[in-house]
Structure 1
Amino acid sequence: MSHPERDTRRCIVDAAERFFRDIGYQKTTVADIAKSLRMSPANVYRFFDSKKSINEAVLARFKGELEESLSLIIAEPRSAGSRLREMLMASYRINQARFIDQQRMQEMVCAAMEESWDAILGHIERYDALIGKVVAEGVASGEFRPVDPQAATQCIRTAMIRFQHPLLMAQCARIPGPSAEEMIEFVMAGLEQPKTGA
């Protein structure tokens, strides 16, 4: 079944993402996006009221893909620790592939943080809910220490931020520090129940 309005929105977001990647968010205009689609700027504005809202749609696509990947890991029938390790590594790898050595895409995220903080906060809340679900399951099963899942989730996000925040990933790459794998093991050591001897 055809959905012309949804298809047009997707085409606009596709074109915007290409421009943001090729010439950067600041240099891209709505007129550029419209011209590439053989549309008038007024027609683009029928679907998005500003360049900021187009940027939010591009960001929502990125974050939605990440959240979907984490949701698939959550659904797997294995231990909380195994799933949490994979979720943290998946977050790192997805963001690394999308943003590392991609200065123009980092610029897009900077613009979102300045202009669309509510959209960023929405993603953080959804990310915390996904991580927190696995932490709570681990606590309930006795696999993790009896920690407060919400507080533990916030600590995990803070500990992993240099491996997930697009700008910090680039800046911290030049600063001596642990690898993502080492930091994940450090985080897990703080969560998992100590192994008892035989």
Structure 2
Amino acid sequence: MEKVTRSPIAARGPADHEVRNQIVAAATEHFSRYGYEKTTVSDLARAIGFSKAYIYKFFESKQAIGEMICANCLHEIESDVRAAVEETDLPAEKLRRMFKVFTEASLRLFFRDRKLYDIAASAATENWQAVQAYEARVQKLLQDVLQEGRQTGDFERKTPLDEATAAIYLVMRPYLNPLLLQYNFDSADVAPAQLSSLVLRSLSP
């Protein structure tokens, strides 16, 4: 959680400055304890022992700090999924693993700490830049898997690639988006296998 993402978040000062890491780490702990919505930059300044003005040298707003934390969480999910996908050469199995690991990792990160979930909920509700970048990378990974399956002859080629990617992403989205995931919690155990099987049948050449 303390690793600083390379996503283009609205931050100030040197990109690798250790003070920024310290602020993000302290903010993560503070938000986890008191909640994102109830915490102000002044609260963070007192907790960290910095002045509010000093924090503003590195982040232009509380949201910018929240975006950095959110981006770190999303990076963890994405890393888990990419590692699982790279363990197999079979496009169909890659797709199954995407459904399964995205759901498991999202549940683990977004629901193990209800206070930090506030950040994820705010990010999804307000469509933060970190979320937009994450969703774009997810769709690119999905498109790459579909393209590989078409090249190997495992997947059909009649549907335009961008259309197939967008449609399958919409199937996955209820288990990726934290606001939607909370309403699909009861089906999260079985949905990845059922939905990936359905999608794979539709992709059959």
TM range (shorter): 0.7 to 0.9
Give the distance between the partners of 1:188 and 1:97, measured in 2 at CA.
Answer: 26
* Aligned residue number for residue 117 of structure 1: 128
Give the distance between the partners of 1:102 and 1:189, measured in 2 at CA.
Answer: 36
1:34 to 45, 48, 51: 45
1:165 is aligned to 2:171: no
* Aligned residue number for residue 56 of structure 1: 67
1:156 to 168, 172, 185: 168
**Alignment coverage as a number of residue pairs:** 191
1:44 is aligned to 2:61: no
Give the distance between the partners of 1:177 and 1:35, measured in 2 at CA.
Answer: 42
* Aligned residue number for residue 196 of structure 1: none
SS in 1 for 2:38: coil
Cα distance 1:75–1:178, how it changes in 2: closer, same or farther (>3 A)? closer
Cα distance 1:178–1:67, how it changes in 2: closer, same or farther (>3 A)? closer
Which stretch shifts more, 183-192 or 97-106?
Answer: 97-106
Give the aligned residue type for 1:166: P
Q: CA deviation at 1:74?
A: 4.2
SS in 2 for 1:85: helix
* Aligned residue number for residue 3 of structure 2: none
Give the distance between the partners of 1:174 and 1:82, measured in 2 at CA.
Answer: 24
More helix, by proportion: 1
Which stretch shifts more, 169-178 or 84-93?
Answer: 169-178
Q: CA deviation at 1:80?
A: 0.9
Q: CA deviation at 1:104?
A: 2.7
- Does the 8 Å CA contact 2:110/2:116 hold for their aligned counterparts? yes
Give the distance between the partners of 2:128 and 2:15, measured in 1 at CA.
Answer: 30
Give the aligned residue type for 1:189: R
Give the distance between the partners of 2:119 and 2:201, measured in 1 at CA.
Answer: 35
Cα distance 1:100–1:176, how it changes in 2: closer, same or farther (>3 A)? closer
* Aligned residue number for residue 179 of structure 1: 191
Gaps of 5+ in 2: 1-13
Q: TM-score, normalised by structure 1?
A: 0.84
Aligned-residue CA RMSD in angstroms?
2.5
Q: TM-score, normalised by structure 2?
A: 0.81
* Aligned residue number for residue 188 of structure 1: 200
